[in-house]
Amino acid sequence: MRRTFPGHPAAPGMALGRVRLEQPARFSIDTSPLPDAEIDAEVARLERAFAVAREDMAELRRKLHGALAREVGEFIDAHAQLLDDPDLIEGVRAMIRRGHYRAAAALKAQRDRLVAVFDEMDDPYLRSRGEDVDHVIARVQSALARQASAEEKKLATRVGEILVTDSVAPGELAHLASHGILAVVAGSGSPYSHTAILARSLHLPMLVNADGVLEDLRDGDLALVDGVRGEVVVHPAAQDLARYRTWQRDSLREGQRLAELAGAETRTRDGHQLRLFANAERPEDIERARNLGVAGIGLYRTEFLFLAHDGLPTENEQFTAYRDALLGAGGLPVTIRTLDLGADKADAAGLVTAAEPNPALGVRGVRLSLRQPDVFITQLRAILRASCYGPLRILVPMVTDAAELTEVRRLIEECGRDLRTAGFEIPEQFDLGAMIEVPAAALNVRAMLEVADFLAIGSNDLTQYILAADRNNDQLGKLYRPAHPAVLRMLAYVIARARAARKPVCLCGEIAGDPAFAPILVALGLDDFSMQPDRILGQRDALSRCERKTLRKLVPRLLRARGSEEIAALVASVQVTA
């Protein structure tokens, strides 16, 4: 019988396939006591399973590049650390040796114990980390099951399936996508989580907050996932299959039409010129962006140099990377963001930091750079040395106070003098910008504009901090809404202040490349957008349909709106009549 289940679109597209229900219960757990004679062999099975899981993670890390590596890397690193946690491993070993548990039962018991500890924590950030334990132990359980049964391995590599699950980690999604998963339906989650971002990068249709799917769907059910309408159709009827075939034809034609926009100017329907920049971190990102006709690189991330390096990268190694970025841009401006790491990833990058209970609110971005001046000065020197190879701007992340930017400018000037004395050709002036991603910086943006030459709004973190909602916490998916009135008022204020000061302001983050958000950002007066290269053509097309004069008149009503639904209705009404 045909049934439909509504969900929230997180990645567009449609897919038809068989349901693969992913739940912890799919692992067969033998709870019978383990005989003494089998203890050593069972411990060996456990250790092999951990080894397989570690190799899976390492192999996945090796395969990922560019934006994919950035989105998934931090989760892979966190899970890899858990797989090496001696307390976790020794706890399971002890259950086998002393409690006569079988390995799968010991893993489940350890999982239940650890998740219960996390659930009792007051800090919501730490409480959400229990999901990492879930994902890691599920990976070990899978490795353990693969030792016992070829069927499990066959299931993991089967193609043409729709993954139906409560939640999925980015690393696991990347692995499943490489083994033929066609789409994802999650019972929880947010369209702005790292997993959703990754699904869009992989062109994998995804729905989140799909109620009832875990209870009512069964392995093997034929399902049609519609990431446009936001629904799953189980046992689709003839008209559903016809709609799917129509979408396939239309999608092919749409891709061909968008390809014709490569290199075109970006203008609204009433002729107002906008500028689309690309986010990048590797030469291939820059090459793709240039081929699409971007105005420049609006955000060049430098973290990969540190995370992919054995120890801290030297000045010359960094200089080479920045020089190549500028040369690859072919004369287009490149905005290099200084190191944006927190204590949760700094150790992996070769930096020594103290453990923090909440890294999102800790020593990260410019806070870390100013506390590690030797590392920061090395990076600044490398950036300045590269500046003679093309137009360059320096962007500072996680700025809270204008005094931080003043100190960075002092260090830049000091590095410039030292380099000129050493014989390097260094320009006298550099454009220095501040990332506006902390509410304090947004509210005090007038003071920031007195020091900064330009601004870049980091909408992902700004939204997270305004709403006090971790976008990667599946339980808060419905709370993390960039279209929340409080977020829009903050964006409007920052954009208006920058325009009044006649200083450029660019928006980086997921909403910059979201076609659904295009009319809202045009209404707020934004002219510069920076996004992943694969979002350029779709956003150029969406912006070309916006009537700027009409949308600008909408601002007073937008800023008085009391909820996201009212905002969406306002924009829809204007878009229809424009």
Active site residues: 194, 508
Strand partners, 267: 273
Residue 269 has, within 13 A of its CA and on its CB side, a CA count of 12
Q: What 8-state DSSP symbol labels residue 535?
A: G
* Tokens 């878009």 -> residue: 575
Nearest CA to 82 among 166, 140, 122? 140
Pairwise CA distance, residues 154 & 98, whole Å? 34
> Which residues does 467 contact at the CB level (< 8 Å), separation at least 6?
479, 480, 481, 484, 486, 487
Nearest CA to 484 among 499, 498, 465? 465
Angle at 509 between CA 508 and CA 510, to 5 degrees: 140
Here the tokens at position 62 are 């090796």
Here the tokens at position 306 are 């540190």
* Tokens 């916006």 -> residue: 546
Asked if 493 and 442 count as a contact pair (C-beta separation under 8 A), the reply is: yes
Q: What 8-state DSSP symbol labels residue 229?
A: T
Here the tokens at position 554 are 């909408």
**Is the sign of the CA dihedral 66, 69, 72, 77 positive or negative?**
negative
Q: What 8-state DSSP symbol labels residue 482?
A: T
Nearest CA to 24 among 173, 103, 142, 192? 142
